[in-house]
Amino acid sequence: MTNTWALCALWVGLALAATLLAIWFKISTALSEIVVGTVAQLVIGVFLTGLFGFAQGGLAGNTQWITFLAGTGAIVLTFLAGAELDPTIFKTKWREASIIGLAGFFGPFLGCTAIAHYVLHWAMMPSWLCGVALSTTSVAVVYAVMLELGFNVTEYGKAILAACFINDLGTVIALGLIFSPFTIKTLIFVVVSIVVFIVLPFLTPRFFKKYGGRVSELEAKYLLFFLFAMGGLAVWAGSEAVLPAYMIGMVLAGTVGKDHSLIRRLRTLTFGLLTPFYFIRAGSFVSVPALMAAPVTLLVLFGAKSLFKAVAVYPAVRIHKYDGKAGAYYTLMMSTGLTFGTISALFGLNHQIITQAQYSYIVGTVIASAVIPTMIANSFFLPHHLLPHHQAGKKAEKEVMRPVPAEEG
């Protein structure tokens, strides 16, 4: 690559196009950027090779500065996801949340691993990675539906939301620990992490109170310092930088997470510069020819993900007596988060755990499981509250469809 600014203009231009598409079709920017990245790589790679001097590797997604920006995007995005946790949820619903969340993680994790290994005949390590990538849950999708139907204030809604965080925590921990050899470095990483996670919630608000609120954006530098430092330690130990980022987000959710002004500034940095590089890069590694060569693989993985998520979550929810119509909503946990799904797949590709074809199938499945439920819902639109229901189901529906605010505390 010879012209950094031209390459940068190309990427930002693609980000701009992706954002316009997201606005026109009311889809998430992340999804739009992944798709634009895939199409742009295909078009530029196939048709414009050699042009402008940067087309040798298509979008040149492995250029060092692009890798850095994309990696930082993943770290900050993961931090923001962790910071959205409502700590009070865990105080009352930690038991249900843990059981449902762990079931939601282990079901697809073990199930998809088994399917990848025994049905698709992938080697063991790629199969584990496939399991990790497809074990995630989109907290935002679940939260959106909860808000829409008013469940976010119910005991039921709070438990499911907390379960989603536990589910994703399982994914991040698995990603951070399964693929790294357990050495003295791992031990140092774990010990230092525990100390940092304990100290940060006490140190951060005091530090911000004393030095924060200035135009020099001390808060952003402070957070980035810890995110980079812990990320560096994680990588040194053979783990993944998003693991400490998610944990730091969770432990600071009660303090930094409530500072809307700071979170807003971080979002500007994240959406304006970092995440376009992350998602377009993730999309650019998807091989369309590989997907077209074996579409059945995609169907198998999508089926496995949906099946094992449902099989695992359903009994866990039943145990806690969430009955009737509630079933329709916990199945939302089947929706995969684009962020954690692609982070896991990219980790596998970067560490040569999976091939580009396997990466393409995993990312394809992640996108499908995020998009297909929405497409079905839009295609067969019918207002929820007008849906016909059986007399026997009425009692259960009343319990669930008319939310009762949870007791405070």
List residues binding other proteins (CB under 8 A). 22, 24-31, 77, 80-81, 84, 138-141, 143-144, 147-149, 260, 263-264, 267, 270-271, 335, 337-339, 370-371, 374, 378, 381-386
**Nearest residue (CB) to other proteins, 51 versus 147:** 147
Closest approach of Cβ 215 to other proteins, in Å? 22
CB-nearer residue toward other proteins: 184 or 386: 386
Q: Which of residues 130 and 401 has its CB atom nearest to other proteins in the complex?
A: 401
In the bound state with other proteins, the residue whose beta carbon lies nearer, of 278 and 361, is: 278
Total residue length of the chain: 409
Q: Least distance from C-beta 378 to other proteins, angstroms? A: 7
Using the minimum distance from each CB to other proteins, give the nearer residue, 5 or 380.
380
Rounded CA-CA distance 163/166 in Å is 5
| Shortest Cβ 299–other proteins spacing (Å) | 19
Closer to other proteins by Cβ: residue 97 or 161: 161
Phi, psi of 131 (to 5 degrees): -60, -45
Closer residue to other proteins in complex, CB, 292/386: 386
Provide, rounded to whole angstroms, the least separation between the CB of residue 34 and other proteins.
11
Contacts (Cβ under 8 Å, ≥6 apart) of 69: 273, 274, 277, 278
By beta-carbon proximity to other proteins, the closer residue of 231 and 249 is: 249
CB of 210 to other proteins, least distance (A): 27
- Residue 239 C-beta: closest distance to other proteins, Å: 22
3-class secondary-structure state, position 321 = coil
Label residues 366-405 b or e (16+ Cβ within 10 Å = b): bbbbbbebeeeeeeeeeeeeeeeeeeeeeebbebbbebee
| Structure-token match 């695992």, residue found | 312
Two structure tokens written together for 393: 């189901």
Shortest CA distance to 40 belongs to which of 81, 12, 76?
12
Question: Minimum distance from CB of 293 to other proteins (Å)?
Answer: 26
| CB environment 299-326: b (16+ within 10 A), e (fewer) | ebbbebbbbbbbebbeebbeebebebbb
**Which residue shows structure tokens 């399991």?**
131
State the Cα–Cα distance between residues 407 and 268, nearest whole angstrom: 35
Q: How far is the CB of 260 from other proteins (least distance, A)?
A: 7
Q: Which is nearer to other proteins, 116 or 145 (CB)?
A: 145
Cβ contacts of 264 within 8 Å, gap of 6 or more = none
Q: How far is CA 316 from CA 12, 174, 373, in A?
A: 44, 21, 22
Residue 28 to residues 24, 165, 243, 299, 345, Cα–Cα distance (Å): 11, 20, 24, 23, 19
Closest approach of other proteins to the CB of residue 342, in Å? 11
Q: What are phi and psi of 238, to 5 degrees?
A: 85, 10
Nearest to 180 by CA among 106, 248, 240: 240
